[in-house]
Amino acid sequence: MALYEFFSKDIYDLSNINGQIIKDNLNIIHWNKLVDFMKDRNKNKNFIGNIIKKDNFTPLVPAHKYVLKIQNIKFFEIDDDNIYIFSRDHTENKYCLYLFCRNLYSADKIVVVRIYLSSDTVLCPNFYDDINSWIEVQSIEL
């Protein structure tokens, strides 16, 4: 498979994710393996590791915002279409972030993107919501 550039602004103005598509034809039947990993990071590690070519990785959690310097990271929720995997590349001594996205280009495929991290990166749980719930400030009525 040829590698393609990915720019989330082309499909969703409320995020800013730039990266490289490393796989665009992962069958949707594997989505539950990814969800299981997000709930328990010991499940399906070999499956995910074979895709991203890493041995040491975890689900992205809010605490990672300090090392990644990305604001507004939240925990994965079951109805999210985007799953983020955090890894540290020990050979290059840098952090890596991967996006697994369902329903992006095809309803039966998962797209995998290695994200190019920058201070302008804005993540989101879904590319089709009216708001980006990771950055939208909730108003509180008193």
> What is the pLDDT, as a whole number, of residue 3?
67
Phi-psi region of 44 (alpha: psi -120 to 50; beta: other; left: phi over 0): left
For residue 127, tell me if it sits in a domain.
no
For residue 56, tell me if it sits in a domain.
yes
For residue 131, tell me if it sits in a domain.
no
The DSSP code for 48 is H
Low-confidence ranges of the chain (pLDDT < 70): 1-3, 136-142
Q: Which domain holds residue 90?
A: 4-115
pLDDT digits (tens, 9 = 90+) for 29-67: 999 999 999 999 999 999 999 999 998 999 999 999 999
Q: How many domains does the chain have?
A: 1
Asked if 50 contacts 77 with a C-beta cutoff of 8 angstroms, the reply is no
For residue 121, tell me if it sits in a domain.
no
Q: Which residue has the tokens 């995910």?
A: 48
Who contacts 39 (Cβ-Cβ below 8 Å, separation ≥6)? none
**Residue-level length of the chain:** 142
Q: Name 89's bridge partners.
A: 94
For residue 136, tell me if it sits in a domain.
no
> What is the pLDDT, as a whole number, of residue 4?
86
